[in-house]
Structures are given as C-alpha cells and as structure tokens.
Structure 1
C-alpha cells in the first residue's frame, strides 16, 4: 500500500462535504423558519423535496445526490486506506468502522434524494422504514435497540468533536476558516444533540416493539419543540444545523487529507499548539 493517498480522493471528498453541507443548510434553514413563523420541522427527505418546485431544483437535487454518493465513496476509501492515519489498534479500527457506517448512511440518503428528483415527492420518514425492516429480522427489537444505542454514541462523538475542537486537526489555516471556527464548533455540537435524540427514539422503538416511535431529523426537532420553551430551543438547534452545514462547506474547501498533504501542513490545531508553545512566529518564518 502506498504511503501517499491517490490524488482523486481529494475532489471526491470535497464534493461529498459540499453536498452534505447543502443538505444541512436546507434542513436547518427550513427548521429555523418553522421555529420563527410556526409549523412543524421537516425531515431530511421532505425538506429536500421542497427544492424540486423551485428554479433549478431538480438539477440541484441530482447534484446533491451525486455528492452524497461521493461522500460515501470517500468514507469507504478513507477507511480502507486509512487516509486519516487512525491506525489498526482497537480505537483506530472503531474509528474506521464508523467511517464506513456514515458512508452507508449518506449513500442511502443520496439514493433517496435521487428518487425525490425523479418522483417529485418526499419518501416519508426513512428512519421509521428502516426500523420496521429491522424489526422483521431475527432478534429484531434487540437489533433496533442496539442500532439506537450506537446512534447515541455517534451523537456523543459529534458533540465531543465540537467541544474538544478535534475537528481542527484536519482544517487548513486560512483567515476565513479562523473566522468561522466558532460556527463550526456550534454546528458539531448541534448535530450531536440531534443525533443523540434520533438514537434515543430508535432505541425506544426497539424497547416498545413499535417502529412508529422511531424518527429522523424532523422527529428529533419535534421532540425538542415539545419541551418547555421548545420553540426557542428548536430555533437554536435549527440554527446549529445551519452552522453544521457551514462547517461541512468549510471542510469541502479547506479539509486536508493527512496521507495526501503530509504532516507539516498548517492546520487550525497545529497553529493553536504552536501559539500555546510560543513557536508560531518561528514556524511562520
């Protein structure tokens, strides 16, 4: 295996992050509108279906679908070639398995978006549909609960990634990236909150043996709105999802692949370490 990643993975990665950014800008923007003006937040598929009736909506949907498939390919190749140097110990293998899972999820969303572009309507709640299929398998409810708990873990990972600022490890230093740093942090935390709620809903569906209890982004935002001051909280989380969309767009432009760019590229994390050590000016020189 070559130590350097093939050049083609970089444009594939950038297309994937750009598409994911577009998805969250649409979903978060519509949810924020619902929080401000009233109404229910939509799930991912139904939110994207609204684009079809707008000018250039269908080409945009196809572009998003292609980008999400590119994101899936990027994640598979990333995990297989270990482009982010996670290693082969237990922690590294778990991280690489997580990359494969996120790739599968976004590839499935890409297929749903393509169907939306062709048929002109949302596909309903995909989470409930998948949960129902899992329920029909041997040990179905237990499997659904396990998936729910894994999803909760993924949400905690996203939130921790934002709070610990580990996302800075792969973002190249630019003036714009530095200015958007607080936005990226808030976006990752908000995404973590939503994913945790989705995981809890899926786990509860397995516990009650009722696929109708599961739900995706729309259901998670609905749960947030149902609590005290829920409309304000939903607006804050929706704004966070918009921020997560921006975070993905930043990654689309400024993300580096360690096994392509090498260890000496100036990332946000490396700049912060050098500044803390008083070596920043020396490195710049």
Structure 2
C-alpha cells in the first residue's frame, strides 16, 4: 500500500514537473501571442463589417485569413502547438497551481477557472490544426448545429438556456475583470509599459465581456424561440451588434476593443507570470 502511494505521488510530481518545464513555459508564452493575433484579426474583420464589407468575425474567420497567406500552413501548425502548450500549462495550473491557495473556496475557483481556460485553449489548438491540415469550419454554423442537437435532447432547452446564462456570466466576469483591472494580477510588473498595458487591458476585457454577453443572449433567444439558427456564435453576436441603432459605431468600438484585447494578450506573453 505504501509503495503504491509513493508511486502515485512520484507520478504526480513528474507530471507537475513536465507540465511546468521550460519548454512548456515557452510554448505557453507563444500561445498567448497566437491568441493575441487571433483577436486582432477578429477585430480587424469586425471593423470591415462596420464598413459594410463581408467576413466571418470569429476564430474560424481569423484562422482562415492566416491560412490564406504565404507560409500560412507553417504558421497555423505553430499556432496549434503553441496553443496546445498553453492548454497543458493551464491544466497544470488547475491541478497544481491552485494548491498555493489555503482557502478551499478560492482553491476550487482557481482550479475551475484554469480548467475552463485549458479547454478553450485546447479547442483553439484543434481549430488551428484543422485549418493547417487543409480543412475548414464555419463557427457560426457549428454553434447553430450544436444548439439544435442539444435542444432536441431531453431537457435540452434547459441546458441551452443554462449555457447561455453561463456565457452571459462569463461576459460580466470579463467586463468586471477589465474595469477593476484585476487582470494585472496575472502579470509581472510591466515597468514603464504599465499605464499602456492597463489601458489596453481594461478596454480589451470590457469589449470581450460585451461580446460574450451578446452571444449568451442570442443562445437564450434561440432556446426561447425554438430557432437554433439564432445561436450563431461570436460572428453572429458581432453582426447583431452591428444591426442595432448606431450599430456601425458600436461595432467599430467593440472591434477596436477586441484588437486591444489581442495586444494585451501579446503583452501577457511578455509579462505574464509563468
């Protein structure tokens, strides 16, 4: 029994060491660079939408734009590996990073947050890999299809509404995190760049919070109207904002905010605590 316990502890220790190795640390930093690049491209596409041009303002649209550039395939594979490394880093944070918290509630909260980010970054790595392999996907259609399948399941509408509420809550969390500048806790002291990082982080987090809240509302509307097509993901959320009164200006402002979030993510690659 003692040997088994020692073996398990050794395995956990080795896993922690591997997930926090210098190589994974470097990949995690690179992952934030690619996340920043994706958000900057999404913001740029959203600006095009505000000017009456077409485009898909979401992860698929941004990664598809990268794929169409010379050397895009190599860049996409690099993005897949970097985001996978960042996902692994967040897994290590979920299992080992939260141990530094003595408060059980804070420990659980930090572990759940890190695990959620690991899933998101892992999905982004998968999307990069799909495009790098020559495939493609439409995020809006995927969101609608997933909503339709979920609504067709027993109690599916309840789950869809719960999912929408969770995304709205995430949006509120992002906005709060930005307005209160709590995101600075994720960084080492940026020195002379502190003021700039505070501004771009505040604007970026607030803008992303607004977009997530709109996406969550659309999911709930899809459930309430039994119309899964209304659940159209980030691209649908941005286009919905653009269709509102003064929507052109609102969409342009949110687009600029998403670009700020992208720049902040790149700053986090430089100044983040790893």
Residue by residue over 1:50-80, the C-alpha shift from the partner in whole angstroms, topping out at 9 and shown as x without a partner, is 2222112121222222222222222221111
Q: What is the DSSP-based 3-state SS (H/G/I as helix, E as strand, rest coil) of the residue aligned with 2:153?
A: coil
In the TM superposition, 1:82-97 aligns within 5 A as: 82=97, 85-87=100-102, 89-97=104-112
Which residue number in structure 2 is paired with residue 147 of structure 1? Answer: 163
What whole-Å deviation, never above 9, does each CA across 1:95-124 have from its counterpart, x for those lacking one? 421321232123123212221222253434
1:172 alignment partner, SS class:
coil
Moved more, 157-166 or 26-35: 26-35
Alignment-derived partner of residue 136 in structure 2: 121
Confirm or deny that 1:231 pairs with 2:243.
no
Partner Cα separation in structure 2 for residue 155 and residue 89 of structure 1 = 25
1:138 paired residue among 137, 154, 157? 154
TM-aligned CA distance change 1:93 to 1:177, over 3 Å: same
**Whole-angstrom CA distance in 1 between matches of 2:61 and 2:241:** 19
Contact 1:116 1:123 in 2 (8 A): no
Q: Does 1:67 align with 2:82?
A: yes
Contact preservation (8 Å) 1:86, 1:93: no
Counterpart-to-counterpart distance in 2, 1:193 and 1:142: 23
| In structure 2, C-alpha distance between the alignment counterparts of 1:177 and 1:107, rounded to whole Å | 30
CA contact (8 A) 2:181 2:202 kept: yes
Aligned residue pairs total 257
SS, match of residue 180 in structure 1: helix
Q: Does 1:171 align with 2:204?
A: no
Which sections of structure 1, spanning at least 5 residues, go unmatched? 258-285
How far is 1:155 from its partner? 0.8
Conserved 8 A contact 1:132-1:211: yes
Aligned counterpart for 2:43 among listed residues 12, 28, 33: 28
**In 2, Cα distance between the equivalents of 1:149 and 1:87?**
30
Q: What TM-score comes out, normalization by structure 2 length?
A: 0.84
Shift of 1:28: 1.0
Residues 142 and 188 of structure 1: CA distance in aligned 2, closer, same or farther (over 3 Å): same
Counterpart of 1:282? none
* Secondary structure at 1:68 match in 2: helix
**1:17 equivalent in alignment to 2:32:** yes
Shifted more, 21-30 versus 100-109: the winner is 100-109
**Normalising by structure 1, what TM-score?**
0.81
SS at match of 2:51: helix
* Residue in 2 that maps onto 1:184: 201
How many angstroms does 1:205 deviate by? Answer: 2.0
Deviation at 1:194, TM superposition (A): 0.7
Contact 1:205 1:213 in 2 (8 A): yes
Partner of 2:268: 251
- 8 A contact 1:41–1:222 mirrored in 2: no
Higher helix share: 2
CA distance in 1, matches of 2:78, 2:265: 16
Alpha carbon RMSD of aligned pairs, Å? Answer: 2.5
